[in-house]
Amino acid sequence: MTADRIDGLAVAAQIKDELAVRVAALREKGIVPGLGTVLVGSDPGSQIYVGGKHKDCAQVGIESIRVDLPDDTTQAQLEEAIHALNENPACTGYIVQLPLPKGLDENAALALIDPDKDADGLAPASLGKLVLNEAGPLPCTPRGIVELLRRHDVELNGAEVCVVGRGTTVGRPLGLLLTRKSENATVTLCHTGTKDLAAHTQAADIVIAAVGRTGFLTADMVKPGAVVVDVGVTRVDGKPAGDVHPDVWEVASMVTPNPGGVGPMTRAMLLSNVIDRAEQMAAGQA
């Protein structure tokens, strides 16, 4: 038996259609959402992701402002670019593409983002709101995973979820999201210090692999019938590959492919965050 494929590309396309309607309504009120990106350096993966984000913007009617800085950018130059976007009225939300090249201080950069323009939900004020259960922009990958599972009627209430990976962009905020009352899952957050990883993944109804090691999650680590979400991306011979070993498809009930699963959802949620914020501005809550 082979698992059902959770089609992230199809869901993301559907979400983008919904968002395009909301952007048109905003434009009618004279509000034009604009997404800024700050990309430092020439990492090929990051170039692809940022390029994709601008294509998405064009599809739904969001203006985009692209700031590309060279590999040898200093912290002061990066901070200047961030201040410029904070001050730019055409930019209603923006991201600083991570990881930054060695030598640049990511947390210092994220702390300078105007919290009202944080499209990634990764600025300290936004992560603080998530911990405090206050409304705010949510980190795009965790939000995309929850949305993808919801739209496939995967029960989260009471589910045993094993998240592998404790990174700041995925694993750690995902644990916070899934344990809110509205999701109500029980989360086990595993990491490199976990003693018996397989014991945790085998006990889970939903396994979420956010590690970044090709084929890391093998079939023997998954309970028959479990739902498996493949987040980590590595490149093998230039092609994107995921954390989930292909044999897992013979054991699980549903799997998100990678590529074609969580990645497109991450991009769709970035657009959502920008539009959510623009609608709040339109409603006069800004």
Residue 263 within binding range of ligand GUE, rule CB under 6 A: yes
Active site residue 195: no
The catalytic position among 120, 205, 243, 276 is 120
Q: Is 181 a catalytic residue?
A: no
Q: Is 101 in the site for ligand GUE (CB under 6 A)?
A: no
| CA 64 vs CA 32, 54, 197: distances in Å | 10, 6, 42
**52 or 101: whose CB is closer to ligand GUE?**
52
The answer to whether 272 and 33 have CB atoms below 8 angstroms apart is no
Stretch that binds ligand GUE, among 44-52, 142-150, 171-179, 189-197 (CB under 6 A): 44-52
Pick the stretch among 71-79, 80-88, 89-97, 208-216 that binds ligand GUE (CB under 6 A). 89-97
Residues 6 or more apart in contact with residue 66 via CB below 8 angstroms? 36, 37, 39, 50, 54
95 touches ligand GUE (CB under 6 A) = yes
Q: 166 a known binding residue?
A: yes
Q: Which stretch binds ligand GUE (CB under 6 A): 68-76, 124-132, 199-207, 264-272?
A: 264-272
CA angle centred on 224, ends 219 and 227, rounded to 5°: 85
Q: Which residue's structure tokens are 């059902």?
A: 4
Are the CB atoms for 271 and 54 separated by under 8 Å?
no
Residue 61 labeled ligand binder: no
The stretch near ligand GUE (CB under 6 A) out of 59-67, 79-87, 198-206, 255-263 is 255-263
Contacts of 164 (CB under 8 A, 6+ apart): 171, 190, 191, 197, 201, 207, 208, 209, 210, 211, 216, 217, 243
Selected from 7, 56, 118, 120, the binder of ligand GUE by CB under 6 A is 120
The residue among 26 and 265 lying less far from ligand GUE, judged by its C-beta, is: 265
Check residue 90 for interaction with ligand GUE (CB under 6 A). Answer: no
User: Nearer to ligand GUE by C-beta: 205 or 230?
Assistant: 230
Based on the shown chain and the rule CB under 6 A, indicate whether residue 240 belongs to the binding site for ligand GUE: yes
Q: Which of 97, 117, 205, 243 is catalytic?
A: 97
C-alpha to C-alpha distance for 18 and 25, rounded to whole angstroms: 11
**Helix ranges restricted to H, the chain:** 8-28, 44-60, 75-87, 106-112, 124-132, 140-150, 171-178, 197-202, 262-282
Q: Is 52 in the site for ligand GUE (CB under 6 A)?
A: yes
Write phi, then psi, for 174 (nearest 5 degrees). -65, -40
| SS3 labels along 21-41 | HHHHHHHHCCCCCEEEEEEEC
- d(CA 164, CA 253) in angstroms, rounded, equals 19
**Does 274 interact with ligand GUE (rule: CB under 6 A)?**
no
97 is catalytic: yes
140 binds ligand GUE (CB under 6 A): yes
Rule CB under 6 A: is residue 58 a binding residue for ligand GUE? no
Residue nearest to ligand GUE (CB): 263
Whole-number Å distance between alpha carbons of 246 and 8: 17
Contact positions vs ligand GUE (CB under 6 A)? 48-49, 52, 95-98, 120, 140, 233, 240, 258-260, 263-264, 266-267
Residues labelled catalytic: 53, 97, 120
